Structure 1
Amino acid sequence: MTEKHGVQTRIIEEKDAGMRLDRWFQNHFPNLKFGHLQRLCRSGQIRVDGGRVKGATRLEAGQELRIPPLDFEAASPVEKNIKTKDYRLTEEDRSLLRGFLLYEDENLMAVNKPAGLAVQGGSRQKRHLDGILTAAAKESGGQRPHLVHRLDLETSGVFLLAKNAAVARNLGAAFRGREIHKFYWALCLGVPELREGEITAPLAKKAVRGGETMVVDPEEGKSARTLYRVVDTLGRRASWTVFMPLTGRTHQIRVHAALAGCPLIGDDKYADAEQREAFSDVMQQDAPPLFLHARRIVVPAGVAGRKALDISAPLPEHMRAAWKKFGFAERAGDEAAEEFPQ
């Protein structure tokens, strides 16, 4: 997001592709009245890629959404918290900035997002990657990077950011077209019946007490496809699995793994009570953290510069310690990823 004299420019994320404009505003500015939104559209103050739009316009990943000055006093606490212009770096932030850069060139940067750090702010997220990078750019006099995809709060690993709007559009289109390949490492409870395959199950958001969850919904859900390959196992107790999502739904890997009967270790959201107890037995610790890491991302040549990019992120400490304890060889995971269709 960028701001100029109260005008904001947002890059539409992959997770919002296909969403109606009015629904997008409902999600991000829930206190903005529908009639006012319609007037802003009719007057041309809200624009997508420079063109006029209606509330029913469907958004695409990578598009630029122009938002005119709004009454933030009437906006929700969520929207106030994700404004980043007043974010101030802490010592913890500065320490993170010194060590998490994986790759950088004139077009983009890749960082190793730690688990527990939100990508954007929210009603319960005061500290977030967007705010940290915005504040860092402001201090250095540099350009604020653009968010082009997402990682869940509990997920660590490779995260890409574009350095300008044109690259953001290209990356958004590449994510939407499945040109960019992402590989995730996870430790799952149990071992799937088939050691490799594809999980296909449409997913939809469902409101629950305290927030939202994702559910399999054949009628209203969006298409969701995930390739997987088991790399190694702990007998029948657990399996190290590489996942390659072919679509980008919220919590997709977590829901699909649970659907296959092998929820991710530490995933209290999608595992049942018996499975949560088993997590502790496998890891020999109470309430283990989530074992899901965005290990690698591959960007083809021409998307963000002339050369192709293949960027990997080292495992977080809790996964690195577990891999050592269980005797897992990291090289085997990278080799397994090469077996997926490209």
Structure 2
Amino acid sequence: MRFTRITLQNFRNLPLVQVTLRGRRTFLCGQNAQGKTNFIEAAGYVTALRSFRGAETRALIALGQPQAGMAFSLEHEQYGESRITVTLTSQGRDVMWEQGKVTRLAEFIGKFPTVTFSSQDNQFLRGSPSLRRRWLDLTLAAMDASYLTSLQAYTRAVAERNMLLKQGGRDAGALDAFEHELAGHAVVLFAKRAAGVQELSDLFRAAHAKLVPEGEQAGLVYSPDTAVTVREEFAALLVKNRPRDTLVKSTERGLHRDDLEVLLNGRPAKQFASEGQQRCLVIALRLAQAAYFKLKCGLTPVLLCDDVLGELDPSRRVKFWNSLEGDPQVIASGTSLPEADAASWQVLTVEDGKIL
């Protein structure tokens, strides 16, 4: 899969840009706060119809404008030449492609896979478990519509249970109903997360090995809050925890408390890895995500590299390029041109919301 043309109107600080992408390597060059990241953010939107920054729809629309528009032309191994249009308003989004209007995210997510490498990824190791859960959920949901359906239903059930807890938990019948539904989806999600992390861990270990000196070994471990294998057992745990949950007005146990642990040579990376080692680990996680997408859907994802390769030393940058398989399209950004093989890049200059 590759983008051939991207048109944006009133998307963040980009009033109107029309970019034809040639070849497999495009580099956006410009100073900070000119619009490079915004362009990459828009390109990544086609995978899950959401910003990799986690921004709300309203934040994507230029200040003072009622709506924003995005149009993408792509070459796709399964759908041929495809065109996707997205209209963003303060009320939501409207998405169209050759198959018709997109009414359910599960019918669209993951069909146009991209993987975004961002400087924000450095928080993956040091940040809260919610960052790691979000990455895992987006990765698995992009390739498994049933995972997304179960996750959405689980999240709704937790929200409904929390609402009842805030009301004092007096409606035992309603709590029973939501806990029964919650437990059913939890069993499905637990099994899919455990299997998914096992596959991702193997891909992560292989990707990391291509970036680092021999002797460093990475690992990815699923750390569930509760092992949910039997629906009735988890439902009973929720009943047992009702008094405490009512006090704190929140569901304190469950898959919404899960975490992932990243290891380096068998030890927690956030405690023992150096800055350079941590950068390689998060890049390897993104490479593993790309490999997982290709494994599951047979498509080579587009790689969107937002000013991250400059953080690697020259030898690790060379290893990064050598590690890429399947000749993916790469759209990268930075404040200076790539040091090596510059002739192979289509270079675009970004200045004050204009891309030339």
State the TM-score, normalizing by the size of structure 2: 0.30
Greater helix share, 1 or 2?
2
State the TM-score, normalizing by the size of structure 1: 0.31
Ranked by relative contact order (alpha carbons within 8 Å, sequence separation 6 or more), the top structure is: 2
